[in-house]
Amino acid sequence: MSEQPVLSVEGLAKDYGDGFGLNRLDLSIDRGELVLLVGHNGSGKSTLLGLVSGFLEPTEGSVSILGSPADSVEARTARSYVPDEPILYSDLTMLEHIAYNAALHGTPDWEGAAEDLLVTFQLMDRTDDLPARFSRGMRQKAATIVGLVRPFDLLLMDEPFLGLDVAGQDALVTILGDLAGAGRSVVVSTHQPNLTAVATRCVGLRDGDMVYDGDPDPDVIGRIIHG
Amino acid sequence: MTDSKQLAARDAARALERARRDARRARIDIWEAIYQAYVAGFAIAGFAALVASVLPEDQVGTTQLETVTRYAPVALGMVMAFAVAIGLRSGARGGPLVFDPPTVHYLFQSPLDRGFVTRRTALNQLRSAVTWGLSGGLALGLGASAALPGGIFWLGLGLGIVGMLTALALFGAALLASGLRISMTTATLAGMAVTGWSGIDLASGATSSPLTLIGRLGFMRETADLTSLAGIGVVSLMVLVAFGTAASVSLEAALVRSGLVSQIRFALTMQDLRTVVVLRRRLTGQAHRPRTWLPIARTSGSRRPVFHRTLNGLLHTPPSTLVRAGVLGVASGVALGLAVRWAAPMAFLSGLLLFLAAYDFVEALAQEVDKPTLWANKPVRPGDLVTRLTLAGAVCMAPVAAVAAATAILVSGGGLVIIALTAIPATTLGAVVGAAVSTVLGAPTFSAATMESEMFALTTVPRILAPPALAALPMVPVVGGFASGNPAGSTVVGSVFLTAVFCGLALLWLRSRRPELS
């Protein structure tokens, strides 16, 4: 018997009232896959991630994470979502964000993992500062750390490289590759070319339809993005 | 496993809530708290004084008292019915719960039971709504105590309870509609049924609706009896069921609301009336239609491109905007009609209602102001564009003025023809110019917002008052005429003169505006 997919999407559609943001999409992602989600603006990448993360409600179809519906407690336990615009409390410090999110998910011994991530993203000396006041790139790093410090089976990231400096981009590529190598499933919406080196699969979207599902070939990705 | 994770999440959420509450308490400045209490007390006293001013100074006689005890409870029930209808429609749009974006992102993505978060938020918001309702009811009782029997205690108690229950009904209806995910059509039909039931009570003098039963509590000593408890029971049950369904509220709607509501709060803080109105309309899901209501030629080639563009934009407005403009026109006419029959100051209300309607007719101007780069690159003098867009808006608002004038003539029984046909067009022009001034003024600059509070008040109060004052000014001679019995002719001359002077000055000011490029 084959292993249950981490993410299973069937006939998933989202109608915003002025046309379909996503048009009856079928997708299955297994453990250990690092999937690049590519497409031009308005192609449906953020809509797909919003639906899988449970923030958007589908017009048709279903999403299941490890066999549970997207809005179930089980799915929320298994899924970590980092949106394109970092969402941070204005009254919590960097460390308080991490501690709170770790506690919400019942994460034991989070301090070590948090320290590693803070060092990697060069935020170790900013742990007692309020990240809501950070620059765009630093807020992106903060949101990424908060999303990574808790346990998950499926990581969803929407444009995680936005605003990151080169060191931050390289660090994130390494981390995402390591996560996939450790058996976590990762879906990243991005145009970042150097992620193709560690990605295992690419899904291309255009106007809400899936136009490609295969190897992360840079030439193919270029053609999808440039239309 | 999942249960232990939920308990851990619950503990974490509670701990954060406690920490944030303690931090808030630690930040409280005693003088600031005293000042806020003073402002709240002042507002309640002001409302009570307003109520007292429209009621007789002495105790009403037996006949009038009979009329009050017969109709006032039903009228209070009707107010509650409208509150329920508004609540149902708000709930169908995803209201009334407002979460801050991080709460939606972190708590709703954790293993925490969603009902735990929604019910706690609902309880906090309900507490605030009930306080407002109770305060409003108490102020009403205080203001009515000179004219009505029962004294401050009984009227304050009765109307305070009705105010509190009205807030409960409004909030409960919204939460119920949101939790049950009912459609807007269902919410509207249910709202119509509730108001219709109270309307039947009003027309027949019967007491059949639970809301009318609650209304009887308002005049406790005269009209309340044990049957009122049934009304309280119905509202309480609705609130309890609503809390039971709170876990099912739409996360998507909550996210949209949380973003818009925080912007509205900021705009309110900055006294930016136009932004509040625009965001409030966006919150109710009003988006422009892709197609125009009527076929219209392209702007290119038009000899009057500014007017053409204004009309073009208006033809894309959603049905709710058209309905709102019509309703505000009718309400303005009713207010003017009632001014001659009942209380002359109602004429000011007529002007203010047209002012609210006018915001939709300066939308084309607002688009330029919001995009200063586009505005600056138009091949006309920036100030000329502002005045032309304002006047185009005034021309496009003519149908609303016609509705208001016709309504005023009907309500007054045909006695207001001359005044309605002159004062309402003058007020419409004042309303559009006022809305244009409000739009161009926008929010205070950051440097103004960081001034000492006295300086901020000195600069901000005129900003808030000047735009609606332009709509109310043409009604000053009308109010004076009604109060002193002056002939319509002199009233009309005064109204037109004031409009010409003040709108002329405002248009000159608008003509001097330039885009603020950062």
What is the DSSP secondary structure assignment for residue A34, as one 8-state letter? E
Mean confidence (pLDDT) of chain B: 83
Query: What's the confidence (pLDDT) of residue B168?
Result: 95
Among the ranges given (B114-128, B264-278, B339-353), the one the predictor scored with the smallest mean pLDDT:
B264-278
User: How far is residue B66's CA from residue B137's CA, in Å, rounded to a whole number?
Assistant: 22
* CA nearest to B255 within chain A: A55
Q: What domains are there in chain A, each with its CATH number?
A: 7-84+144-225 (3.40.50.300)
A87 to B101: CB separation less than 8 angstroms, yes or no: yes
The pTM of the full predicted model, rounded to 2 decimals, is: 0.71
Q: Locate the domains of chain B by residue range.
A: 61-250, 290-511
Element housing A116 (H / E):
helix A110-120
Compute φ and ψ for A10, nearest 5 degrees: -130, 120
pLDDT bucket at A78, cuts 50 / 70 / 90: very high
- Say yes or no for a CB contact (<8 Å) between A87 and B290: no
Q: What are the phi and psi torsion angles at A37 (to 5°)?
A: -105, 115
Residue type, B185: T
Asked whether the bond before B96 is cis by omega within 30 degrees of 0, the reply is yes
pLDDT at residue number A49: 95
Region B32-44: what's the mean pLDDT?
78
- State which of A190-204, B433-447, B480-494 shows the largest mean pLDDT: A190-204
Report the DSSP pairing between strands A185-189 and A154-158: parallel
- Alpha-carbon dihedral A37, A40, A42, A46, rounded to 10 degrees: 20
pLDDT for residue A155? 96
Instruction: Tell whether A124 lies on the interface with B, counting CB pairs under 8 A.
Output: no
Worst-scoring range by mean pLDDT, A36-45, A122-131, B181-190, B364-373? B364-373
Q: What pLDDT digit, counting tens, does each position of A135-173 carry? A: 999 999 999 999 999 999 999 999 999 889 999 999 999
At B382-422, the pLDDT tens digits run: 888 999 999 999 999 999 999 999 999 998 887 788 888 88
Per-residue pLDDT, averaged over B476-487, amounts to: 78
pLDDT of residue A47: 93
Confidence grade of residue A79 (pLDDT, cut at 50, 70, 90):
very high
Partner-chain contact B111 A18, CB within 8 Å: no
pLDDT tens-place string over residues B143-152:
888 777 777 8
Q: Which residue has the tokens 């006695």?
A: B415
C-alpha–C-alpha distance, residues B355 and B435, integer Å:
7
- Of the candidates A80, A87, A106, the beta carbon closest to that of B5 is on A106
Q: Using CA atoms, how far apart are residues B231 and A58, in angstroms rounded to an integer?
A: 39
Indicate the pLDDT class of residue B2, thresholds 50, 70 and 90. Answer: low
Q: Do B111 and A104 touch (CB under 8 A)?
A: yes
Query: Residue A52's pLDDT band (boundaries 50, 70, 90)?
Result: very high
**The two three-digit tokens of residue B56, written as one number:** 């007789």
pLDDT of res. B300: 52
Determine which of A176-185, B244-253, B324-333 has the lowest per-residue pLDDT on average. B244-253
User: Would you call A47 exposed, middle or buried from its count of C-beta atoms within 10 A (0-12, 13-18, 19+)?
Assistant: buried
- Alpha helix stretches (DSSP H) within B181-272: 184-204, 210-215, 220-223, 228-245, 251-269
Supply the pLDDT for residue B453: 55
Pair A145, A123: CB distance under 8 Å: yes
Count CB-CB contacts under 10 A for residue B30: 7
Residue pair B145/B155 in contact (Cβ under 8 Å)? The answer is: yes
The three-class DSSP label of residue A12 is strand
pLDDT of residue B266: 63
* pLDDT, average across residues B182-198: 94
- How many other C-beta atoms lie within 10 A of the C-beta of residue B90? 22
Chain B contact residues (CB < 8 Å to A): 2, 4-6, 8-9, 11-13, 15-16, 20, 23, 100-102, 104-114, 250-252, 255, 287, 290
Phi, psi of B197 (to 5 degrees): -60, -45
Dihedral sign, Cα of residue B237, residue B240, residue B246, residue B248: negative
Distance separating alpha carbons of residues B482 and B338, to the nearest angstrom = 11
Quote the percentage of chain B above a pLDDT of 90.
31
A93 Cβ under 8 Å from any chain B Cβ: no
Model confidence at A96: pLDDT above 60: yes
A106-122 mean pLDDT? 89
Question: Please, which pLDDT band fits residue B1 given cuts at 50, 70 and 90?
Answer: very low
Cα–Cα distance measured from residue A184 to residue A178, given in angstroms and rounded to the nearest whole number? 9
**What phi, psi does B259 have (nearest 5°)?**
-70, -45
Tell me how many helices (H) and strands (E) chain B has.
24, 0
A53 reaches B (C-beta below 8 A)? yes
Question: Quick one: pLDDT at residue A119?
Answer: 94
Helices vs strands, H then E, count in chain A:
7, 10
pLDDT score recorded for residue A147: 92
Residue whose token pair is 């009318």: B212
- Mutation for B interface: A47, A100, A145, A158, most B CBs within 10 A: A100
Amino acid at B158: G
| pLDDT beyond 90 at A51 | yes
